[in-house]
């Protein structure tokens, strides 16, 4: 006999309860508890479980043969970099992003590239019909006989289609629209997302098929549904960018087969997404010359050095408490560096409003940007512009010292390649490497010393 069991599940964190509650005890969200019905098989008063298969015996790790995971590279070098060198067969990749940001466009272009390399690709769309997908493929010019399109939301039908086509790659757009017929809850619920993802993961691992699934995001920017979804997959990618700007940034927040520090940059055009091979030129192309409060820092995004502009606006406050606003950098870091400038340099910033921004919409959070932030604040406060050919690299401590940073050689070489004439960096980073011939490297040990070189006093 099958017994129906009713429970309430939080749609934000997956917390389960036997009764409805207005506020979830797990995550604290209101009105997220939804009733779901679970069918449990019972026999002779005990729950039935499927018989376990023959388990493999444990073996010493030294006796296990090391096998290098093969990778399949696409024509998109930016995507290959973020994935760690290419697509790993049998991997399950989750791609999240805001609506209209370009997730479906990216995956359709990647599908066509893989199809042109004689790989069988199955594109499953739960949000668009086959004809709508064909219209988008015509606009992007990504037609290939090895690219199969299927519009379906039933997971059993999806599984049967995979058995028929026998693809090397599968794209599911999106996981919130797919449902398992044996699960009674609605598509997009916690139970459906969990069960469908688990089934797709089993297909990927047993058949060696690389599967990409698209996940919707909440208004806070995280993947919709429980955090369990991110723990189940091999790789989690976020497609970021402002809808009013043409540039898109692809980041990895989890990657079992590579680094999570890499970043890929694309530009959205009429014919689809195009790679940006030199993002530093993009971020600096509209920089104003001779404006105070503007500095350039060489930041590392994984293995790639990127030059970005940091802008600061310091003005006398109009209300009782000064405002501290930051876009693209941590708000707490700005407050910390302003306290260091006030204590160690003697700048009276406690009655000043501070507004900081990283130009281009990129977000950076490494310690090496401290010196550029401090110099931009001092430049705006004194209304003295820095030299447009200066680049600043360094971490700042609470005692006002400038500390060494990693990968200094790659940062300086990127600055020299873009025509910068002087780089101000920590003294402890000088030595052990060869400077580019066309750039002047200046070592500083404190914030005061850096301001002497940057602002002349």
Total of domains in the chain:
3
Domain assignment of residue 64, yes or no: no
368 and 449 together in one domain = yes
173 and 317 together in one domain = no
Q: What is the pLDDT of residues 59-111, one digit of tens each?
A: 898 888 877 778 999 999 999 999 999 999 999 999 988 888 889 999 999 99
265 and 294 together in one domain = no
How much is the CA Rg of the chain, to the nearest whole Å? 27
Confidence of residue 152 (pLDDT cuts 50, 70, 90): very high
Nearest residue to 107 (alpha-carbon basis) of 87, 90, 129: 87
439 and 299 together in one domain = yes
30 and 144 together in one domain = no
Domain assignment of residue 60, yes or no: no
CA dist list (Å): 98 to 95, 217, 303, 371, 440: 11, 6, 26, 33, 43
288 and 430 together in one domain = yes
248 and 340 together in one domain = no
> 361 among the known binding-site residues?
no
Q: Which of 30-39, 189-198, 364-373 has the lowest mean pLDDT?
A: 30-39
Kindly state the DSSP code that residue 367 receives in the 8-state scheme: G
Q: Which of 259, 277, 295 is the last residue of a domain?
A: 277
Q: Please report the pLDDT score of residue 3 as a whole number.
A: 61
Q: What is the pLDDT of residues 270-327, one digit of tens each?
A: 889 999 888 888 888 888 888 899 999 999 987 889 999 999 999 998 777 888 999 9
Nearest residue to 372 (alpha-carbon basis) of 340, 394, 349, 356: 394
Higher pLDDT, 108 or 244: 108
Share of the chain above pLDDT 90, in %: 57
448: containing domain: 282-455
Domain assignment of residue 49, yes or no: no
Confidence of residue 41 (pLDDT cuts 50, 70, 90): very low
Confidence of residue 11 (pLDDT cuts 50, 70, 90): confident
Domain assignment of residue 61, yes or no: no
At residue 50, does pLDDT exceed 50? no
Domain assignment of residue 318, yes or no: yes
> 97 among the known binding-site residues?
yes
C-alpha torsion sign, points 362, 368, 373, 376 = negative
> 173 among the known binding-site residues?
no
> 167 among the known binding-site residues?
no
120 and 205 together in one domain = yes
Q: Which of 17-26, 45-54, 362-371 has the lowest mean pLDDT?
A: 45-54
Q: How many CB atoms lie within 10 A of CB 159?
A: 14
146 and 260 together in one domain = yes
Q: Please report the pLDDT score of residue 330 as a whole number.
A: 92
At residue 184, does pLDDT exceed 70? yes
CA dist list (Å): 364 to 249, 305, 337, 395: 12, 12, 16, 14
333 and 224 together in one domain = no
Q: Please report the pLDDT score of residue 147 as a whole number.
A: 95
147-159 mean pLDDT: 95
Share of the chain above pLDDT 70, in %: 92
CATH of the domain at 323: 3.30.230.10
At residue 168, does pLDDT exceed 60? yes
389-409 mean pLDDT: 95
C-alpha torsion sign, points 23, 28, 32, 34 = negative
380-389 mean pLDDT: 94
Tell me the pLDDT of the chain averaged across its residues: 87
> 100 among the known binding-site residues?
yes
257 and 286 together in one domain = no
What's CA 354's distance to the chain center, in Å? 28
At residue 224, does pLDDT exceed 60? no
CATH of the domain at 187: 3.40.50.300
Q: Please report the pLDDT score of residue 244 as a whole number.
A: 66
Domain assignment of residue 131, yes or no: yes
Domain assignment of residue 379, yes or no: yes
Provide the b/e sequence for 213-246 (b: ≥16 CB within 10 Å): bbbbbeeeeebbbbeebbebbbbbbbbbbeeeee
Q: Please report the pLDDT score of residue 218 as a whole number.
A: 64
Q: Please report the pLDDT score of residue 10 as a whole number.
A: 83
400-410 mean pLDDT: 94
Q: Please report the pLDDT score of residue 422 as a whole number.
A: 95
Which residue's structure tokens are 């018989």? 51
Nearest residue to 197 (alpha-carbon basis) of 220, 226, 165, 168: 226
239 and 380 together in one domain = no
Kindly state the DSSP code that residue 429 receives in the 8-state scheme: G
Rounded Cα gap, residues 445 and 89, in angstroms: 49
Domain assignment of residue 309, yes or no: yes
> 98 among the known binding-site residues?
yes
């Amino acid at each position: 006999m099958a017994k129906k069991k009713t429970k309430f599940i939080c749609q934000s964190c997956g917390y389960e309860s036997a009764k409805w509650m207005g506020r979830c005890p797990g995550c604290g969200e209101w009105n997220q508890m939804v009733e779901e019905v679970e069918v449990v098989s019972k026999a002779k008063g005990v729950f039935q479980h499927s018989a376990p298969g023959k388990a493999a015996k444990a073996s010493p790790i030294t006796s296990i043969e090391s096998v290098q995971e093969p990778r399949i590279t696409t024509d998109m070098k930016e995507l290959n970099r973020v994935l760690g060198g290419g697509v790993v067969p049998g991997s399950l990749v989750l791609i999240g992003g805001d609506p209209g940001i370009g997730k479906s466009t990216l995956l359709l272009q990647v599908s066509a590239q893989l199809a042109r390399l004689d790989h069988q690709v199955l594109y499953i769309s739960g949000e668009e019909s086959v004809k709508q997908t064909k219209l988008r493929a015509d606009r992007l010019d990504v037609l290939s006989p090895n690219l199969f399109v299927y519009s379906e939301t039933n997971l059993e039908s999806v599984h049967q289609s995979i058995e028929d086509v026998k693809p090397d790659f599968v794209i599911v757009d999106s996981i919130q629209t797919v449902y398992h017929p044996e699960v009674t809850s609605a598509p997009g619920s916690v139970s459906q997302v969990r069960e469908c993802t688990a089934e797709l993961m089993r297909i990927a691992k047993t058949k060696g098929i690389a599967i990409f699934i698209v996940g919707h995001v909440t208004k806070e920017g995280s993947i919709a549904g429980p955090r369990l979804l991110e723990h189940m997959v091999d790789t989690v990618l976020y497609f970021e960018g402002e809808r009013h700007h043409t540039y898109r940034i692809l980041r990895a927040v989890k990657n079992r087969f590579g680094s999570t520090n890499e970043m890929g940059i694309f530009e959205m055009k009429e014919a689809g997404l195009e790679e940006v091979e030199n993002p530093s030129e993009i971020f600096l192309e509209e920089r104003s010359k001779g404006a105070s409060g503007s500095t350039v820092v060489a930041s590392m995004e994984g293995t790639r050095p990127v030059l970005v502009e940091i802008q600061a606006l310091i003005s006398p406050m109009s209300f009782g408490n000064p405002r501290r606003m930051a876009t693209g950098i941590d708000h707490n870091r700005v407050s910390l560096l302003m306290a260091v400038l006030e204590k160690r340099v003697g700048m009276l910033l406690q009655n000043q409003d501070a507004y900081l921004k990283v130009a281009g919409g990129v977000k950076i959070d490494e310690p090496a940007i401290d010196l550029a932030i401090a110099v931009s604040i001092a430049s705006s406060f004194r209304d003295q512009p820095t030299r447009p050919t200066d680049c600043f690299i360094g971490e700042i401590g609470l005692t006002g010292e400038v500390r060494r940073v990693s990968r200094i050689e790659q940062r300086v070489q990127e600055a020299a390649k873009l025509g910068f004439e002087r780089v101000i960096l920590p003294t402890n980073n000088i030595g052990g490497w060869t400077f580019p011939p066309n750039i002047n490297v200046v070592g500083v040990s404190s914030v005061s010393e850096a301001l002497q070189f940057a602002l002349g006093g």
